[in-house]
Amino acid sequence: MFEIFKIKNIPQKSWSSAKPLNFKPKVSTFLLLCIGLAIFGLGEGLLLVSTTGNSPWSVLAEGITKITGITIGTSTFLVSVGVLSLWIFLKQKPGIGTIMNIIIIAGVIDLTLIYFDPPISIVSKYVLAVVSVLLVGLGSGIYLVANLGPGPRDGLMTGLTRVTNLPIAFVRASIEISVVLIGWYLGGTVGIGTLIFAFGIGPAVAASLYLVNKL
């Protein structure tokens, strides 16, 4: 079990792309990329449905919205551009997965909010929050192993992991906690679900990578 917390590299499987900058991937690679991103989006959407607190990056987007007056959508876009700019220093390169990340996750979140109703009981709300974190972790693991280019946040995670040589679980958790603190300082909404996500997403992603590597 503790092997999960020692993972520092993204596993390579037979269906992984040989390089991130591959705009003509195998059909199986592209499908698994899309499946992983859809699962990721479902997890993000279910956290919103749980009404237990925004995910860290949504807290940051909301905080920026409160001090600037721009929409959360615009704020999220600007945050993504800002994170992508950090890739320059980390020598990260975007790929088709980076583009699909933006399209699929946003679409699935919207569909999730349409077709899922908030739980009634408190226990159900927090169970759903935990499940949402596990789904985001699972989706992250699948699409990262596809190796078609990570999304802005995951690219930051993998880049920092490579540069610092620290475990993925530690790096991801550190990023999410830092984002929550900044977003909260700016006025973003923080709840128990936010803390569950911030502390749970690192181990969830690492566990997903471990499981995918074993398959």
Q: How confident is the model at residue 167 (pLDDT cuts 50, 70, 90)?
A: confident
For the beta carbon of residue 50, count every other beta carbon within 10 angstroms: 24
Q: Assess if residue 7 is contained within a domain.
A: no
- Residue 148 is assigned to a structural domain of this protein: yes
Number of domains the chain contains: 1
Cα separation, 91 vs 137, in Å, equals 24
Cβ pair 139, 29 in contact under 8 A: no
- Please indicate, yes or no, if residue 10 is contained in any of the structural domains: no
For residue 111, tell me if it sits in a domain: yes
Domain that holds residue 62: 24-214
Question: Which pLDDT tens digit goes with each residue over 63-86?
Answer: 898 899 887 777 877 888 889 889
Q: Is 202 inside a domain boundary? A: yes
With respect to residue 11, please indicate whether it lies within any of the assigned structural domains: no
Asked if the structure places residue 8 within a domain, the reply is: no
**pLDDT tens digits, one per residue of 96-150:** 998 888 788 888 888 888 899 999 999 999 999 999 999 999 999 999 999 998 8
**Residues 16-52: tens digit of each pLDDT:** 998 888 888 999 999 999 999 999 999 988 998 898 9
Q: Is residue 53 within 8 Å of 192, Cβ to Cβ? A: yes
116: in domain: yes
Q: Residue 4 has what pLDDT?
A: 67
When the pLDDT of each residue in the chain is averaged and rounded to a whole number, the result is 88
